[in-house]
Amino acid sequence: MKEDLPAAARALRLIVQPWEVRDADGFEKVFAALSKERPDGLYVLGGALIRANGKQIAGFALKSRLPTTCFLRETVIVGGLMHYGADVVDNYRRVAYFVDRILKGTKPADLPVEQPTKFELMINLKTATQIGVTIPPDLLARATKIVR
């Protein structure tokens, strides 16, 4: 992420400013810095710390009227603007398939490595309205889940 995202952003003439949070106390410091910097948007990665503080992150983004793309779908449910990523439910179905094969005697090394094939686009329309963002109809038509 630290290498690929800045390169992709430069190609789109965007500037990426990374902010790291290492514990729950770090959010307020990052929120203060973001309030001062006033970025055009926020991309929130995943992880246990983010999952545990998703509501706080979404609340800050709403208060700051900051469009937020979230790695975790749960952050969109509590107020983030959008999420695009592998379909978690489909991934768990595939996990069940692999567990079944292993329990029936297949060696894990004999099973293929898979990448996700099903993705989801979630958009929180309530959040879009609150922060004054209009979601284009063609993007809404592609959404697999809309939070209203």
**Structural contact between residues 41 and 66, judged by C-beta atoms closer than 8 angstroms:** yes
**DSSP readout, 99-138?**
HHHHHTT--GGGSPP-----EEEEEEHHHHHHHT-PPPHH
Q: Show the domains of the chain with their CATH numbers.
A: 18-86+118-147 (3.40.50.2300)
Amino acid at 25: D
pLDDT tens-place string over residues 80-128: 999 999 999 999 999 999 999 999 999 999 999 999 999 999 999 999 9
The string of pLDDT tens digits covering residues 8-58 is 999 999 989 999 999 999 999 999 999 999 999 999 998 999 999 999 999
Q: 74 and 51 in contact (C-beta within 8 Å)? A: yes
Q: Rounded to an integer, what distance in angstroms lies between the CA atom of residue 5 and that of residue 9?
A: 6
Question: pLDDT per residue over 51-79, tens digit each?
Answer: 999 999 999 999 999 999 999 999 999 99
